[in-house]
Chain A
Amino acid sequence: MEAHAHASVGHAELEIPYNVHPRPDTGVYNGKLGVWLFLASEVMLFGALFSSLILLRTGAESWPRGYEFLNIKLATFNTFILILSSVTVVMAWSHLRLGNLKKGRIYISATILCALIFLTAKGFEYSHEFHEGRFPKTNNFLGIYFTMTGLHGLHILGGVIVFLYFLGPGAKMWAKEPERYTNRIEIVGLYWHFVDLVWIFLFPILYLM
C-alpha cells in the first residue's frame, strides 16, 4: 500500500509515497502540492514584471500604445489557440481518467500542436518587429514587451518539452501505474493553465492599451 511505502526500506525497491493517493494531512498527492508551490513562485515572477510595467508606464511622460504597431489580429488568434490548448489538456486528463490512453495521447498531441502554432505566430511577430527596427533596447515599452512575452514564450517551450516527454518515453508509466501517469498529466496541465492565465492578462495589457 502506498501510504505504508516508507516501511518497505528492507525491500529491494523503495517507493516514493503519495504519488497517487492524497497524503492524509494535506489532502493532495505530493506532486500536486509541489506544482502549486511552484506556481506560487511563478505568480511572484510574473507579478514582479507586471509591477515593473505599472512603474514604467505610470512614471513615463509618454507611453507607446501597443495597438498602434503590434499585430492585434495575430495576438487574438494566439489567444484562441492558447485557450484551445487549455481545453485539450483537460480533455487528455479526462480521457486518461476514463482509462483511454489512446485518446489521452491524441489530446496531448493536440496541445503540443497548439503550442507550436502559438510559438510560430509569436516568431512571425518578433520577426516583423525586428524588421521594423523595434528591439528591446528601443524604448521601455518594447523592453518590457519583449521581456514578458519572451519569458511567457519560454514557458510555452518548457511545456512543449514536458508534454513531448509524456507523449513519448514518459507514457511507458501507463502500463504499470496508470493512475500515477494520469496525475502527472493533471499537474503538467495545472502548469499549462497557468501559462494560459498569464497570457489572458498579457494580451490586453500589452496589445490593447
Chain B
Amino acid sequence: MTDPAAAVEAGVDVHEHAGIGDPNAHHHSPEHILKEMRLYLVIFVSLAALTAITVFAFYQLKTYPVKVAITVALIIATIKGSLVAGFFMHLLSEKKVIYGILILTVIFFIFLMALPVSHHANPFGS
C-alpha cells in the first residue's frame, strides 16, 4: 500500500488519486496547453538567437586567448542547455524524485569533470 504521507512528500495530489478532484486540472486545460505551445515557440526563437550569438562571438573572439573563447562559449551553451532542460524537459516544475535523481547525477558528473584536474595535480609520472 502507498503511504499517503509519502505521496504528499513527493508532491503528488492525493485528491486526484482518491477521485476527489484535481486542483491542477487547469494545467491540462486546452487554454493552458495553448499557452505552453506559444512559450515553446518563444524558447525556440531564443535558442536560435543564442546559437547565432555563439557563432558571432566565436568570430569576434578568435584573436583573444583560448580561455576567453571557452568561457564565453560555455556560458552561452549553459544558458541554452538551461532553456532546453527547464522548458522543453519541464524541469522547472518537476517532481522531487526527478530532482533527487538529477542532483545525484550532477554530483557524479562534477566528480567526472574533476578527474582531469586531479590528474594534472598528481606529481607521479611527471
Contact = CB atoms under 8 A, between A and B. Distances in A.
Are A and B interaction partners? yes
Contacts of B26: none
Which of B81, B85, B116 has the most CB atoms of chain A within a 10 A radius of its CB? B116
Interface string B77-114: 10011001100110000011110011011001100110
B88 A193 contact: yes
Interface string B43-75: 110011001001100100010001001100110
Interface stretch (A82-90, A114-122, A149-157): A82-90
A87 B98 contact: no
B10 A24 contact: yes
The A interface is mostly helix, strand or loop, or mixed, namely: helix
Interface residues of B, number: 57
A97 interface: yes
B88 A86 contact: yes
A42 B120 CA distance: 26
B34 to A, nearest CB: 8
B123 interface: no
Please classify how large the interface on chain A is, using the bins under 10, 10 to 19, 20 to 34, 35 or more: 35 or more
Given A28-B95, A200-B84, A201-B81, A98 B102 contact: no
Given A79-B51, A94-B40, A197-B81, A44 B108 contact: yes
A67 interface: yes
A46 B74 CA distance: 16
A33 B97 contact: yes
Contacts of B73: 204-205, 208-209
Interface of B: 2-4, 6-7, 10-12, 14, 16-17, 28, 30, 33-34, 36-37, 40-41, 43-44, 47-48, 51, 54-55, 58, 62, 66, 69-70, 73-74, 76-77, 80-81, 84-85, 88-89, 95-98, 101-102, 104-105, 108-109, 112-113, 115-116, 119-120
Given A24-B12, A90-B88, 15 more contacts: A24-B4, A25-B2, A36-B102, A54-B113, A55-B116, A58-B116, A80-B51, A84-B44, A86-B84, A94-B36, A193-B88, A201-B81, A204-B73, A208-B55, A209-B69
7 contacts: A32-B98, A36-B98, A51-B116, A72-B58, A87-B44, A91-B37, A208-B54
Interface of A: 3, 21-28, 32-33, 36-37, 40, 43-44, 47-48, 50-51, 54-55, 58-59, 67, 72, 76, 79-80, 83-84, 86-87, 89-91, 94, 97-98, 189-190, 193-194, 196-197, 200-201, 203-205, 208-209
